[in-house]
Amino acid sequence: MTGPTLVFLHALGASAGEWKQVLDHLPNQACVALDLPGFGAAAKAGHCDVEVMADWLADEIRSRALISCVLVGHSMGGKIVTLVAARAAAGEIGLSGVLGVVLVAASPPSPEPMDEERRNQMIDWFANGQIAGVDAATFVDASTATTLAKPLRDTAIDDVRRSSREAWLGWLERGSREDWSAEAGRIAIPALILAGAEDGDLGEDAQRRLNLPHYITADMQVVRGAAHLIPYEQPQALAALINGHATNVALAALPAHFATLLASDRVSHRTRATLLDRMRAPASGSVWTTEEQATVAALVAQILPDCDGEAVLADRILAGIADGAGDGWRFATLPPDREAWRRGLATLTKAAGGFAALHPDAQTRLLERVNGGEVGSTGDITQLSPEQMVLWFEDVRAETVRVWMSLPATMAAIGYDGFAVGGDGRRKQGYIRTGADDPEAWQQARERLS
């Protein structure tokens, strides 16, 4: 297993260098800070529109073979990061390693809110081909809560001055105005969305309205003592926030060989998107109570004592029961799944006085009684009868194992690769070697168990 690589995209008029102080506070992280076309060391590349920049970032991820990464986008870079994250979540080849997103005072997929008078002023700064030093300084100073220390301010001003005129105008006149909301949609990749406390156009309100709705799972935080140039203003605080998010999403990282296979053209877009979705926590808004969720987590721990992450697995199981996905069948003597689970959980709670609070040994003994037909009520319509409880507990065990086996992490652990025999081409790739102990070159090596 490897930790995720952090991939940084800068703001309008900046470069990869804006991240230097942040990177200094991330000494143990693998980091890649990129110059967007038209800026920094890539200024001579001229203007690339939003779609081309998204293609460019996707190609950078593929060319570097990043099997686990977190995309960090500041301002203009945030719009590009969101569009690539949407493509990753949709199953695009080579992007399955995108585990998380950090948006720093980010431009949204929709048109960026900006005062038109200020936009026109910024456009006029490049009327003669290059921005003047005084205008570059005005741009930098207007983007900070307090004036930067001289070395940092000089660096930021120099970056603005070496920006390509075509790229600067291309963003202000077109890119920032483009609406990619439909293409972004709702993204299952977890995001950390940050706003400077004193940012104007792209502050907390704009982030909540324009970026937060695009992410199913997102944490919104405000960085104090900063306006728009957070990487310069609060690098240590920003680094800590990025590191915390990267640590959280790293739990979803897959072994290198499995991650590479999942990202390959042997896997169809739909299959890849489905498997990636199973790596993310289910959307919030559950119909289940806190006690019901805790009870199912305790049941999972009893059924799969070594699986780890029982609470997340329980949430995924309950989400499937709530939306009716299920496994396509039920015992005839049980009510529909959601009702059966409600009543089954209520029966356990009644019998135990709170199942989740019991010692694990006491939970085991109670479940043995359930399995023996000794727990239940025939006179209470909110509970299941003893006979129904036997069948319901059998269904709970089957559903728990079914959902657990469907997770990419479980497939990786047991060496399952049957998902990688299709792809999107007309001719499905399938297996060539079908004999026992005769794996093909693309299959992951299996450890023999003694």
HSE-CB of 421 using CA atoms within 13 angstroms: 11
Q: pLDDT tens digits, residue range 124-154?
A: 999 988 999 999 999 999 999 999 999 999 9
d(CA 186, CA 174): 24
| pLDDT score of 285 | 58
| pLDDT score of 450 | 37
Between vectors from CA 107 to CA 101 and to CA 112, what angle results, nearest 5°? 155
| pLDDT score of 332 | 95
Strands 98-104, 31-34: pairing is unpaired
| pLDDT score of 209 | 98
Q: pLDDT tens digits, residue range 296-341?
A: 999 999 999 988 788 889 999 999 998 887 788 889 999 999 999 9
Q: What CA–CA distances, in Å, run from 83 to 78, 190, 359?
A: 9, 14, 47
Between vectors from CA 326 to CA 324 and to CA 332, what angle results, nearest 5°? 95
The one-letter amino acid at 27: P
d(CA 85, CA 190): 10
For residue 402, what are its two tokens? 């079914």
DSSP secondary structure letters along 115-165: -HHHHHHHHHTTTTSS--HHHHHHHHHTTSSSPPPHHHHHHHHHHHHTS-H
CATH of 5-252, picked from 3.40.50.1820, 3.40.50.2020, 3.10.20.600, 1.10.1740.10, is 3.40.50.1820
- Asked if 106 and 135 count as a contact pair (C-beta separation under 8 A), the reply is no
Cα-to-chain-centroid distance, residue 391: 37
What angle do the packed helices 337-352 and 310-323 form, to 10 degrees? Answer: 140
Please return the burial class of 195, using the count of CB atoms within 10 Å of its CB with bins 0-12, 13-18 and 19+: buried
| pLDDT score of 297 | 95
Q: Which of 299, 260, 297, 353 is nearest to 68 (CA)?
A: 260
DSSP secondary structure letters along 154-170: HHHHHHHHTS-HHHHHH
Q: Where are the domains of the chain?
A: 5-252, 290-406
Alpha helices in 377-419 (DSSP H): 386-405, 408-414
Residues of the chain with pLDDT under 70: 1-2, 283-285, 445-450
What angle do the packed helices 360-371 and 386-405 form, to 10 degrees? Answer: 120
d(CA 132, CA 139): 11
| pLDDT score of 213 | 97
pTM (global) more than 0.75 = yes
